Amino acid sequence: MPRMERGTYDQDLLALLRNARHIVALTGAGISAESGIPTFRQAQTGLWAQYNPNELATAQAFRQNPRLVWEWYSWRRQIVSQAEPNPGHIALAKLEELTLSREASFTLITQNVDGLHQRAGNRSPIELHGNILRTKCFDENTIIEFWQDAGDIPPHCPHCGGLLRPDVVWFGEELPHEALRSAWEAAETCDLLFSVGTSSLVEPAASLPYVAIQFGAQVVEINPIETLLSPSANYVLRGPSGIVLPELLLAAFGRQLDET
């Protein structure tokens, strides 16, 4: 398996990037790290440094202390709304455009809840873990767009009076069925899959690269550090995605990039 230093890219990989019939990019929190959104494994800052995100992002934590969990998400929502897509997000949007323009398929699957892929220009990413900017009723599981701000934290559902929560998938919860079905289908039908900025620990997303391998695709990992997936990937590109992805696109498409 080629493990390449940044800046040197295997010619077979570049050819695949230009000719693949279906490219999948699976992204995790790492792709947004360079936009200033911390991953769960990076230390939380300030007020939240004493809390473990893995213990706040659960239904049990919400039941025990809904105010604490709501406030943690309000803080994260504020970080997300101030963040901008970085060169890694923008490179994936360009790759989608280039791939579609030669009538091949492109599927972006993200575990992120920050909406930065859409803001970078990707058309319809599959959001496996929901979106932090949406809110739903904890009891009825329906999306709520408007509610009266009576000063309660969390606010109450205007229909049933239950508590409101972010529309994200917490640890131990099921993923949205249609998103998972589409992601699985994409992994089975692609010929090239990128796993970008994910620790490959959180299931079921962590299985998608292995599904792709099983169905004959080449898998490329982009991550500054070794993950569980690394030994199984066909190519491992070590480095931050905000640098590796634009470099890789430049190596594969050169001046064609300026025309998009």
Catalytic residues: 129
Rule CB under 6 A: is residue 48 a binding residue for ligand NAD? Answer: no
Rule CB under 6 A: is residue 129 a binding residue for ligand NAD? Answer: yes
Which residue lies nearer to ligand NAD by CB, 157 or 197?
Answer: 197
Q: Name the segment binding ligand NAD (CB under 6 A); options: 23-31, 65-73, 150-158, 173-181.
A: 23-31
Closest distance between ligand NAD and the C-beta of residue 118, in Å?
12
Q: Name the segment binding ligand NAD (CB under 6 A); options: 4-12, 38-46, 91-99, 180-188.
A: 38-46
Which residue lies nearer to ligand NAD by CB, 94 or 157?
Answer: 94
Rule CB under 6 A: is residue 41 a binding residue for ligand NAD? Answer: yes
Rule CB under 6 A: is residue 111 a binding residue for ligand NAD? Answer: yes
Which residue lies nearer to ligand NAD by CB, 166 or 197?
Answer: 197
Closest distance between ligand NAD and the C-beta of residue 74, in Å?
15
Position of tokens 């480095």?
239
Q: How far apart are CA 24 and CA 209, in angstroms?
A: 10
Rule CB under 6 A: is residue 99 a binding residue for ligand NAD? Answer: no
Q: What sign does the CA torsion over 68, 70, 72, 78 have?
A: negative
Distances from the Cα of 245 to the Cα of 59, 126, 159, 209, 250, angstroms: 36, 20, 45, 18, 9
Closest distance between ligand NAD and the C-beta of residue 19, in Å?
25
Rule CB under 6 A: is residue 246 a binding residue for ligand NAD? Answer: no
Select the residue interacting with ligand NAD from 199, 217, 221, 252 (CB under 6 A).
199
Q: Among 87, 92, 84, which residue's Cα sits nearest to residue 121?
A: 92
Q: How far apart are CA 141 and CA 3, in angstroms?
A: 44
Closest distance between ligand NAD and the C-beta of residue 208, in Å?
12
Rule CB under 6 A: is residue 198 a binding residue for ligand NAD? Answer: yes
Q: Among 175, 22, 198, which residue's Cα sits nearest to residue 96?
A: 22
Torsion of CA 84, 87, 92, 94, to 10 degrees: 100
Select the residue interacting with ligand NAD from 87, 125, 197, 209 (CB under 6 A).
197
**How buried is 48 (Cβ within 10 angstroms: 0-12 exposed, 13-18 middle, 19+ buried)?**
middle
Rule CB under 6 A: is residue 118 a binding residue for ligand NAD? Answer: no
Closest distance between ligand NAD and the C-beta of residue 30, in Å?
2
Contact 74, 109 (CB under 8 A): no
Q: How far apart are CA 123 and CA 38, in angstroms?
A: 24
Contact 232, 200 (CB under 8 A): no
Q: Collect all residues with Cβ–Cβ distance below 8 Å to 225 and sequence separation of at least 6.
A: 238
The residues binding ligand NAD (CB under 6 A) are 28-34, 37, 39-41, 111-114, 129, 197-199, 201-202, 222-225, 227, 240-242
